[in-house]
Structure 1
Amino acid sequence: MERFKYDIERLAGVRFDDVDALNEQLHTHLGAPTRQGLRDERVAERGRLGDLEVRNITLRSPADDPTHATLIFEVAPPSIALDEIIWEDSTIEPPHPDAPDSRPYWSAQVNSAKVVLGLSLDYKTLTFVSISQR
């Protein structure tokens, strides 16, 4: 768990407009930006975060401000169990009853980024990560 915590903190500390640093952290190659309405999006099929294989990596940012970006990726099985608070001020949120595909998640402020750790329906297994820098 400490290794995962360290890896997330390092990733959250990278400036998201520094694509080379993100590529290095995730052991991947994010593609060239494509315009999606008012935002730019870069994608990579797979990579690694520490010991975890990650998939469907997406970096989204406003076209006029790449420093305010969100990085999202799925964690491939086998994942890790998150059955305890990782950061002191973490909160756990249940699935939204109005959204059929909604999942529970942990939310925390890590450095200057908001980190969301998506869970399986049993509230234990990590399924995705979202890191937003504003």
Structure 2
Amino acid sequence: MERFKNDIERLSSVRFDDVDALSKQLHTHLGEPTRQELMHERTAERGVLGDLELRNIKLRSAADDPAHARLIFEVAPPSIALDEIIWEDSTIDPPHPDAPDSRASWSAQVNGAKVVLGLAADNVTLTYVSISQR
């Protein structure tokens, strides 16, 4: 768990407009940007963060401000269990009762970025990570 925490902290401190540094951290190559209305999106199929295999990596940034970005990726099984608070200011958001496919997630501010750790239906297993920098 400590290694995962450190990897997320390092990743959240990388400027998301520095695509080469971000690709290096994720052990992948983020493709050329495609325009999605007011956003640019770069993708990679696979990568690695610590001991975790990543899939469906997406970096979305504002077309007029690449530093205003969000990185999203799925964690391939086997994942890790998040059954305790990782950062002091972490909060758990329960699934929305009105949405049948809604899942719980942890969220925290890490190095000025908002980090969301999405959980599987068991409310413990990590399934995705979203990091937003503004």
Shorter-chain TM-score bucket reads: over 0.9
Map residues 1-134 of structure 1 onto 2, 5 A cutoff.
1-134=1-134
Q: CA RMSD in A?
A: 0.7
Query: Segments of 4+ in structure 1 off by > 3 A?
Result: none
Please give the alpha-carbon distance, in whole angstroms, between the structure 2 residues aligned to 1:101 and 1:69: 26
Q: Secondary structure at the match of 2:129?
A: strand
TM-score normalized by the length of structure 2 = 0.98
Q: CA offsets per residue over residues 84-125 of structure 1, 9 Å max, x none?
A: 000001000111223332210000000110000000111110
Please give the alpha-carbon distance, in whole angstroms, between the structure 2 residues aligned to 1:70 and 1:57: 11
TM-score normalized by the length of structure 1 = 0.98
Structure 1: gaps (5+ residues): none
Structure 2: gaps (5+ residues): none
Please give the alpha-carbon distance, in whole angstroms, between the structure 2 residues aligned to 1:78 and 1:53: 9
Please give the alpha-carbon distance, in whole angstroms, between the structure 2 residues aligned to 1:45 and 1:84: 29
**Number of residues of Structure 1 aligned to a counterpart in Structure 2:** 134
